[in-house]
Amino acid sequence: MSTKIEKLFKSYREQLLHLAKLYGVVEVKSYARSAKRLTISQLELLLIKNHIKLPINRSSDKAIAKQELKQNTITNIYLSFFVIFFIGSLILIRPYIKNVVNEVKFTYVAEEYKIKEPSKKLKTKKKKTETVEEQEFAEQHDNTISLNAETTSNLFNDLGYDLKSVRAGQKVKPIYLTKLPKDLKSLGNTKLKRELFIKIILPLILDENDKIIKDRKKLFKILGKNFNTVGERVWLKRRFKEYKIDDGDLSKLKMRLDIIPVSIALAQAANESGWGTSRFALEGNALFGQWTWSKKGISPKNKDPNQSHKILQFQVLKASVRAYKNNLNTHNAYKEFREVRAQLRQEGKQIIGLDLTKYLKAYASIGEKYVAILDDIIEKNSLTDFDKANLLPTKFKKGLDL
């Protein structure tokens, strides 16, 4: 076609104008309407821009090649930016994708165990009397499940939850058993029993500490403001009530609203519940042997006839941990414990269990001997390792109760 055009027109410029008119190049038309004369180079560039092949005798091959190179370079730069952005995005969201996959696996496995264990019970109960079936119904209505030791251990293994990894820095899986395995005692006084007990109790303690940490952050945020909203004032009022502060003293609230060292909580739970095998722990989810004088409690066997106390019982294990936290953070007997903890905070030091056990001698009548027992449990089982432990955050729901 370019050969025919060259024969029809005398000048190269006329050929270019004809091609522009033939292909309807808008820019050339607009220049023609404004009576502006385009140079040959300008015409060539406009045709190239509109993907029109030029006649053979082009006058400015270098300029055109330069323009083509410029256009290709810009395209390549855009493509490079896109590729870099895409790869960068994949790198950034990789941890999130991994967490989501782990959470899906965690939720699926935990739910599978949650469904599996009651079904086992139902199979074994079919042959029993009507009275037993009514008790089974009551237990299901109670919405609490007591997995046996083997099933609990298998569940933790399937979820990749082991204490060695936690000591190395792995976050703790947020799975909360509502009751202790009733056959935990059958494991004997072994390392296996102690480790299983720690695995069960550790997430419960960390969960309670997490709530405290969030409340502390909110408290200091509120205190840093010149004006507080109605919602913030209501929140403060509830915290004063929760931590038994009648005079609205903010300095008391700051001192009481703080975590319990994980190593101390584990050691006290182990000591008070016999590593999860005591009657109070198995029948009433009482991990910390707290006393009560109300009707709702479990009476100790062979207790002093002059004493009328009972051991406080709970619906689930979580409630026992929460009551224990409130006890240490509010009772006057542990005032020095809270003061030293606050001092450690002020000095920017980590709150370690062994630094505070000496201030818990009032927890038991044996006093100093009780402190020595706690220190011994912490040291022999390396429980200080868990003072730095953190709970794995989850997007789906706050852990999974079993």
Q: DSSP letters of 107-159?
A: HHHHHHHHHHHHHHHHHHHTTS-HHHHHHHHHHHHTT-----HHHHHHHHHHT
Quote the pLDDT of residue 336. 96
Helices (H) then strands (E): counts for the chain: 16, 5
- Hey, what are 395's tokens? 């997007």
Task: Report which secondary-structure segment, H or E, holds 91.
Answer: helix 61-125
**Burial bucket for residue 44 (CB in 10 Å: 0-12, 13-18, 19+):** buried
Token pair belonging to 166: 């936690």
Q: pLDDT tens digits for the chain (402 residues)?
A: 445 444 555 577 778 788 877 787 777 777 766 656 778 777 788 788 787 877 765 444 555 555 556 667 777 787 887 788 778 776 776 665 555 455 545 555 555 555 555 444 434 333 333 333 333 333 333 445 568 888 888 888 888 899 999 999 999 988 889 999 998 888 877 889 999 999 999 999 999 999 999 999 999 999 998 888 999 999 999 999 999 999 889 999 999 999 999 999 999 999 999 999 988 889 889 899 887 766 677 777 766 666 667 888 888 999 999 999 999 999 999 999 999 999 999 999 999 999 999 999 999 989 999 999 999 999 999 999 999 999 988 764 455 667
402 closest CA partner among 174, 206, 165: 174
What is the identity of the amino acid at 296? K
For residue 249 the two structure tokens come to 């003293």
**CATH number of the domain at 143-401, please?**
1.10.530.10
Reading the block at residue 133, the tokens are 């079936």
Contact 326, 265 (CB under 8 A): no
Backbone angles phi, psi at 302, to 5 degrees: 55, 40
Which pLDDT score, from 0 to 100, does residue 2 have? Answer: 47
- pTM higher than the cut 0.75: no
What pLDDT score was predicted for residue 147?
81
Task: Give the pLDDT confidence score for residue 161 in this predicted structure.
Answer: 92
Helix axes 230-242, 191-223, angle to 10 degrees: 140
- Helix (H), strand (E) at residue 255: helix 250-256
* Residue 285 backbone phi and psi in degrees, to 5: 55, 30
How is the chain split into domains, by residue range?
2-59, 143-401
Ramachandran region of residue 169, left (φ > 0), alpha (ψ -120 to 50) or beta?
Answer: left
Q: Which pLDDT score, from 0 to 100, does residue 119 have?
A: 44
| pLDDT value at residue 295 | 64
